Amino acid sequence: MDYIGNKCPVCDKYFHADDDIVVCPECGTPHHRECYEQLGHCANEALHSRGYDYNQENENKTRDIKICPKCGKQNEADCFFCKYCGTSLTENTAQNFDNTQQQQQYGSPFSAGQGGTPFNAAFLDPLAGVPGDTDLGDGVTAGEAAKYVKNNTPYFIRVFSNIKNFNRSKFNFAAALFTGGYMLYRKMYKLGAIFAALQLALMVLQFYLESICGIFNGSVSLASTDIFSGYSNILSSASEQDINLFFLIETIDILLLIFRIVIGLCFNRMYFTHCKKQIVKIKNDVTDGENPETVLQTKGGVNTPLAISLLITAMIVTYLPRLLGGVF
């Protein structure tokens, strides 16, 4: 039986999907495990002698729910915003609904995309207006994806939905800036390690070439303050080896730039595929005693300590050779 929306008879708080619930073997009354262990017995123990049955007593009772005025779906009574579309469920719901309708009709400078979703919904609703039961493919729902992504879910769930429905993605500037490091931060360890190693190898090669190239290490002086004539003078006075090294270094710069652009363009699709694959694996591997939603949140999310370590390493690799005069 699904007890979400019912209250624990001990603490009088609503049950949620991640709660550890125990049921009285005699009458079927659900409790939070901690509440049951603290009380030491069923909260309705005094009614057992009368043949009390929790399920029978509650099967015809309507749960405390809130109906969303926008999408019409049911939400638990303690929800402040609709978990499906992000609409406010507070006392000013009717006014908020009218304002939302006006924003959709006339447009708003704070609207989030073409879907007419209010700007606030993207920040207050972790699903950014995408229904939690939306199928993202491979049997994965938007709600499950949000639990796995954890950080910045409004952005990613909206992007995942657009990829699934319209085959349209967005440029990810964080991925373009940090490339492999951002993949490792998002726990894409295999791809992240490959791309981070590739980028690091190109950077190390570039620093090494700069250290032996006279144009960069100061062996060839700049003869003019004008950048264009200055480079012309440098190249005219440089040796053939330095000129070749110069163009090789510039080529690496171009490759690194292309590398960042490609990662920025492709990351969201790669992360979408990664999330679905991991969610399916977790759902298949979960044991009977585990809560799939709890496992999703534990396995997903981000690896902040690793991201900080990578940032420090990148700073060392970037600036230490220059501080040491380009000597490896």
pLDDT in tens, 104-139: 333 333 333 333 444 444 445 677 788 888 899 988
Q: Is 226 exposed, middle or buried (0-12, 13-18, 19+ CB in 10 A)?
A: exposed
pTM: 0.57
**296: amino acid identity, one letter:** L
Query: Do 230 and 262 belong together in one domain?
Result: yes
Q: How far is CA 120 from CA 87, 110, 283, in A?
A: 9, 8, 32
The encoded tokens of residue 291 equal: 């809560």
Q: Select from 97, 103, 105, 98 the least CA-distant residue to 69.
A: 97
Number of domains in the chain: 3
Q: Which helix (H) or strand (E) holds 66?
A: strand 65-67
Domain end (from 22, 43, 63): 63
3-state SS, residue 67: strand
Identify whether the C-beta of residue 131 lies closer than 8 Å to the C-beta of residue 165.
Answer: no
- Residues of the chain with pLDDT > 90, as a percent, come to 19
Query: Do 213 and 314 belong together in one domain?
Result: yes
Answer whether residue 38 is part of any domain: yes
Which of 97-101, 276-280, 305-309 ranks highest by mean pLDDT? 276-280
Tokens 């967005």 correspond to what residue? 170
Query: Do 226 and 302 belong together in one domain?
Result: yes
The encoded tokens of residue 174 equal: 């964080």
Show the domain range for 45.
1-63
What pLDDT is recorded for position 223?
44
Tell me the average pLDDT of the chain: 76
Query: Do 232 and 288 belong together in one domain?
Result: yes
Query: Do 285 and 204 belong together in one domain?
Result: yes
3-state SS, residue 288: coil
Query: Do 87 and 187 belong together in one domain?
Result: no
- Helix axes of 189-212 and 240-285: crossing angle, nearest 10 degrees: 170
Q: Please provide the DSSP assignment of 8-62 as one string.
A: -TTT--B--TT--EEE-TTT--EEEHHHHHHH-S-TTGGGGGGT--HHHHHTTSP
For the stretch 195-253, pLDDT in tens is: 988 988 888 888 888 778 766 665 554 444 454 555 666 666 667 887 888 889 889 88
What pLDDT is recorded for position 231?
60
Domain end (from 10, 28, 63): 63
Q: Please provide the DSSP assignment of 136-192 as one string.
A: -STT-BHHHHHHHH-TTHHHHHHHHHHHHHHS-----HHHHHHTHHHHHHTT-HHHH
Query: Do 119 and 256 belong together in one domain?
Result: no
Query: Do 1 and 118 belong together in one domain?
Result: no
Phi, psi dihedral angles at 277 (to 5 degrees): -65, -45
Query: Do 11 and 82 belong together in one domain?
Result: no
Interatomic CA distance for residues 216 and 65, integer angstroms: 69
Interatomic CA distance for residues 130 and 143, integer angstroms: 9
pLDDT confidence bin for 103, thresholds 50/70/90: very low
